[in-house]
Structure 1
C-alpha cells in the first residue's frame, strides 16, 4: 500500500527565520511545497517552538506569513527540539492515517534532525526536503565550533541519503522533486 504523507513545517517562525541562512529561498521552497501538498490533499502540519525567547502570541513566535497554517490545519506547539515529545503530533498524524512524514523547517541539526529521527523511531517513513530545511547564519563559525550553515545542511542531507533504518523508507528530495502522487 502506498504511504499516506503529511508535510511537517517545523519552527518557521519570525524569530527563527530572521536568523536563518538562505531564509528567503527556504521559505519559498516550503511555501511551494505546501501549496502542492494542499492541492493534492496532503495534510500540512505546522509545528511551533515556544520558549522564553518565543512566547506564544508575540510577533516573534508567529509563523512567517508565507507559511502560516490555513484554517483547520493541524498546529502543534512544542517546547523541545523533538516535535513528538510531550505534544499531540503523533496522535494527530495517526488520526490522519499518515505513514510518511515529509520534513522541512528550522534548525537543520536540532529540531529538524531530532524530529526526523523520532519519526523513524515511531514507525513513519521519511522524506527530508533537501532545500526545505535551514539553520542559523554563522558569522565566525570556524571559531565557535559550528560548521558553516551550508555544510550543516549538506551533511544532514548526506546522512539521510545513506542512513538505513530497518522497516523504514528514507528519501532525500529537492522540494521540486517531491511527488505527492507517487509512492
Structure 2
C-alpha cells in the first residue's frame, strides 16, 4: 500500500494559550515527530493540515496570526504538503483529495488534534471516500477536557469507536512503514 502520514491541526494555539493546552502536549509532539521521522525514512509523504479562519480576526486560527502557525516544534520540511482547511473535515473544500490522488495514496496514517473534532471528522470522511485500511498513530493525538469528559476519556472513547471500524490503532514499533 502507498501511504501518507497526515498530521492534523498541531498549531501554536494549542501550546501558547493555556485555555487551549492539549492533554500531554509535550509528549504528543515528541511522538508525532517520531512518526514523521519513520515516515521520512520510508519515503512516505508527510502532509500537515492547518485549521484556518479567514473571517474572524479574533479567532486563534486566524490566517497568519502567531497562534495559527503550525507548531514550531514539529519537524516540518519544505517538501511537506501543508493544506489549509476551514472546517473540521480536512477534505472539505481543500486540495487534500487531489494531493492524495496525485501521489496514488491508498492508506492514511493519522495523528494530531483535536481527537473529537477535526481528527474524528477527517477519519470518518477518509473512510467514506474509500480509504478503508487507515491507521491511527497510537498516543499521537490529543484534545482538551470539556464540561462532560476529561481529555483521556475523550481519547479512549474515540479510539474504542474508531479501532477496527475506521482505522486500526498501531504503535510505531509495529513496522507501519
Say if 2:164 is the partner of 1:174.
no
SS where residue 65 of structure 1 aligns? coil
Alignment coverage as a number of residue pairs: 167
SS where residue 6 of structure 1 aligns? strand
Structure 2: runs of 5 or more not aligned: none
Residue matched to 1:132: 140
Deviates more, 1:13-22 or 1:29-38: 13-22
Deviates more, 1:99-108 or 1:50-59: 50-59
* Contact 1:131/1:175 (8 A) holds in 2: no
Superposition TM-score, scaled by structure 1 size: 0.86
Say if 2:100 is the partner of 1:93.
yes
Say if 2:64 is the partner of 1:57.
yes
Structure 1: runs of 5 or more not aligned: none
- Deviation above 4 Å: which 4+ runs of structure 1? none
* Contact 1:33/1:176 (8 A) holds in 2: no
* Contact 1:47/1:83 (8 A) holds in 2: yes
Residue matched to 2:39: 37
**CA deviation profile, 1:5-26 (whole Å, cap 9, x unmatched):** 1000000000024411110111
Superposition TM-score, scaled by structure 2 size: 0.88
Map 1:11-22; keep pairs closer than 5 Å.
11-18=9-16, 19-22=21-24
**CA deviation profile, 1:77-97 (whole Å, cap 9, x unmatched):** 000000000000010011011
The CA deviation at 1:178 is 5.0
* CA distance in structure 2 between the aligned counterparts of 1:95 and 1:67, rounded to whole angstroms: 25
* CA distance in structure 1 between the aligned counterparts of 2:175 and 2:9, rounded to whole angstroms: 21
* Contact 2:50/2:84 (8 A) holds in 1: yes
